A and B are shown apart, each in its own frame.
Chain A
């Protein structure tokens, strides 16, 4: 079983719709969780950290469910510019500074 698993998609979604992704992680002791965004042929960039209480940044909401070991990302009122691959990331138990990466979920927003 992979340590961090994501549905690879692609998710094809009309502009203005709400879309949600889930990601599961295998190590119940994981402490830090993140969503990174990667545009086509570009490097990953941090989208948002995921806090235990859930957090929101504009149209983006991240949630953590420790009991079920999953993280979610919700995008409301999706824009064409949201088209990207979204990477779920969890800290490694081997080192505080290492991260374990999901393979990513591809999102395509259609006009």
Chain B
């Protein structure tokens, strides 16, 4: 069974803190994605990775960075958290066989 896990379901951080969100998949997928989801805006792509140590900017990369040191793990980093980064963060991995994205349960981040 497909599984994508994220390190936290809920997170509260202060403005200016460095925040790490981790995502792990057990399906040996090469492609992984980080999205944020805000009401009325849908899922917006922050970064994606198509292989270890490879990364590409998505539509809204400003204020974020990523790390992919191992195939199964894709980390999202907020270098200096700001209140406008309060959001739901969703990680996904992609199966080219089924052409389907599988999501983790999400991390609801609040920056105060």
Q: A interface vs B, CB < 8 Å?
A: 4, 8, 32, 42-46, 49, 87, 95, 97-99, 101-104
Whole-angstrom CA separation of A10 from B101 in the bound complex: 25
Q: Given that A8-B40, A97-B94, A103-B40 are contacting pairs, would A43 and B50 also be in contact in the complex, using a CB cutoff of 8 Å?
A: no
Contact B96 A97 (CB under 8 A): yes
Q: Given that A42-B105, A43-B104 are contacting pairs, would A98 and B42 also be in contact in the complex, using a CB cutoff of 8 Å?
A: no
Chain B interface main SS type:
strand
Residues of A close to B103: CB separation below 8 A: 43-45
Q: Given that A43-B103, A43-B105, A44-B103 are contacting pairs, would A97 and B40 also be in contact in the complex, using a CB cutoff of 8 Å?
A: no
Residues of A close to B99: CB separation below 8 A: 32, 49
Q: B interface vs A, CB < 8 Å?
A: 31, 33, 35, 40-45, 48, 50, 56, 58, 90, 94, 96, 99-101, 103-106
Q: How far is the CB of B42 from chain A (nearest CB, A)?
A: 4
Whole-angstrom CA separation of A104 from B58 in the bound complex: 20
Contact A101 B50 (CB under 8 A): no
Contact B100 A98 (CB under 8 A): no
Q: How far is the CB of B105 from chain A (nearest CB, A)?
A: 6
Q: Please give me the residue from chain A that is nearest to B100 by CB atom.
A: A46
Residues of A close to B96: CB separation below 8 A: 97
